[in-house]
Chains A and B, each alone.
Chain A
Amino acid sequence: MKRVYVNEEWCLGCHLCEYNCAFANSKLDRMAGLKGKKIFPRIHVEGDDRITFAVSCRHCTDPICVKSCIAGAISKVDGVVKIDRDKCVGCLTCVLVCPYGALAPGENGTMQKCELCLSNRAGKPACVTGCPNGAIVYEERSEEE
């Protein structure tokens, strides 16, 4: 299945992916509506002045967050790891187990994560579409790579 992959050599560290993610998952009319607000993107740029890269859910083959969620709120459907935020109570067990640091609480304290923009207004990963340097891609890669 297609997943989001990053190439840190091309990442500029511009954080645009974070804004595109926050906007895609918002109900705002215009991106400008995010100005001055604390955003809660499902992708985050890590790094320092030497290297930067964006981190989002890996949609693992054997996702430990799904197995660990105490509320049964995380499931894998057609390859996509999804969270039911109505069921989530914000205990953060998924944060404790995810080896990639890919989950974080949203504005209301329940967890959110990348769901590949498949069910929001973008329809496909907005971080990828908006990356100015092609550092984030959405494609099929084999297990061996």
Chain B
Amino acid sequence: MKKYVVIGNGAAAVGCIEGIRSLDADGEITVISKEPRHVYSRPLISYYLEGKTDLDRMLYRGSDFYEKNGCRVLFGDTAVKIDAEGKTVLTEKGEAVPYDALCVAAGSSPFVPPFAGLETVGKKFGFMTLDDALDLEKAIFDTCRVLIVGAGLIGLKCAEGIRERVGRITVCDLADRVLSSILDADCAAIIQKHLEDSGIEFLLSDSAERFEGNKAVMKSGKEVEFDVLVLAVGVRANSGLVRDAGGEVNRGIIIDGRGATSLPGVYAAGDCAEGDDAILGSKRVLAIMPNAYMGGRTAGVNMAGGDEKFDRAMPMNSIGFFGLHIMTAGVYDGEMSEDREDGALKRFFVKDGVLRGFILIGGTERAGIYTSLIREKTPLDTIDFESSKKIAANTIFSPEIRRKKFGGVV
């Protein structure tokens, strides 16, 4: 009987387990989970604070998931070493877990820059895990002043999650705009305005020079008083286990299309991995949940003796703030064209006759049709792309293609 080990307990781990079980019903699966919690959806922690979900509903899989899949889960234990030659994972609590195939789905950790005086701050939190959210929930109160360092996806979702529960929120970022990893300047300005209208204050192109207890002294010289500090500067892939075992690591653990690392029998998936970006054509860490699940699933199938490739990873984000939805996908290169209507903004990036990327603010209806054009690299001269810029529709395809899509099994 084959022995599988999965390090991690998030979407990539679930994908891996479901991938293994799609081919191998009997193999032994051991899951090493640092968090002593049943698998839950990390991105839902802001929705939890907002009251849009609760601890039961935010479980990513049913509470019988591990039981049903015959997994032994080491909750509250941490993998500390991979012995690649002996094919064994050593844990903090002293277990030596042997494997025939191992998947590292260890996620990422918050990156905290060495701010001067950070140790003088009493109430400071990250915003990655459910424990972070629960700790933050305990610390906030209705007149609480919150400073969030980082105007990225994590920092801003945190801001939305607690907006109704605190007195004031200030978000600062070294970047000159919000969501700088997914939005261009024009789009970021629209979102910033919307967030400001929703009661969030910003200090952009500025960062904390030092902290003095409940005060941040900014590089600009401004001073911000706060009761609670949230650090959401960025994340780093948890790649150390594989690096220490001699595996190839860059920003993340280097994997091929099958999810395999450079170490025999060792796979990786999710936020800790650096795999092929099908649109960019090179490797990068794509720390988004759909890729985590899909990469994990591919790794699991291959660990169980299958032969599957996950060659469709691409950046994409769907994220809403205070009722306004943003969707982005692909890369923003080539020629940009835009459509503005009823407060919605759509930007499309076309290069070499194919759609490479888009940014939608509002107007997200049926956006998956656009995403599929990027994913399939559909030559735009074979469809009526122009007509679809206002609203994504299946009318852009030829009747033959539509017959396949809607008249056949897909």
Report if A93 contacts B (CB, 8 A).
Answer: yes
Task: Determine if B57 and A87 form an interchain contact, defined as CB atoms under 8 angstroms apart.
Answer: yes
Shortest Cβ distance from A1 into B: residue:
B409
Contact of A48 among B58, B371, B395 (CB under 8 A): B395
Shortest Cβ distance from B47 into A: residue:
A89
Q: Which residues of A contact B44 (CB under 8 A)?
A: 70-71, 89
How far does the alpha carbon of A69 sit from the alpha carbon of B366 in the complex, in Å? 16
Task: Determine if B290 and A91 form an interchain contact, defined as CB atoms under 8 angstroms apart.
Answer: no
Given contacts A70-B43, A95-B364, A96-B368, contact A89 B410 (CB under 8 A): no
Interface size on A, residues (CB 8 A): 41
How far does the alpha carbon of A143 sit from the alpha carbon of B403 in the complex, in Å? 13
Q: Which residues of A contact B294 (CB under 8 A)?
A: 67-68
Task: Determine if B393 and A86 form an interchain contact, defined as CB atoms under 8 angstroms apart.
Answer: no
Interface majority SS (helix, strand, loop, mixed), chain A: loop
Whole-angstrom distance between the Cβ of A83 and the nearest chain B Cβ: 13
How far does the alpha carbon of A91 sit from the alpha carbon of B327 in the complex, in Å? 10
A47-102 CB contacts (< 8 Å) to partner B = 47-48, 51, 53, 55, 58, 60-61, 64, 67-68, 70-72, 86-87, 89-101
Band of interface residues on B = 35 or more
Task: Determine if B290 and A97 form an interchain contact, defined as CB atoms under 8 angstroms apart.
Answer: yes
Given contacts A68-B293, A71-B41, A89-B47, contact A55 B394 (CB under 8 A): yes
Whole-angstrom distance between the Cβ of A28 and the nearest chain B Cβ: 25
Given contacts A6-B407, A71-B58, contact A90 B320 (CB under 8 A): yes
How far does the alpha carbon of A89 sit from the alpha carbon of B14 in the complex, in Å? 20
Interface string of B114-144 (1 = CB under 8 A from A): 0000000000000000000000000000000
Contact of A101 among B43, B293, B369 (CB under 8 A): B369
Give the A-binding residues of B (Cβ under 8 A).
11, 14-15, 41, 43-44, 47, 52-53, 57-61, 289-290, 293-294, 297, 316-320, 325, 327, 329, 364-369, 371-372, 375, 392-395, 399, 402-403, 405-410
A-B contact pairs, 5 of them (CB 8 A): A6-B407, A68-B289, A92-B327, A97-B316, A141-B408
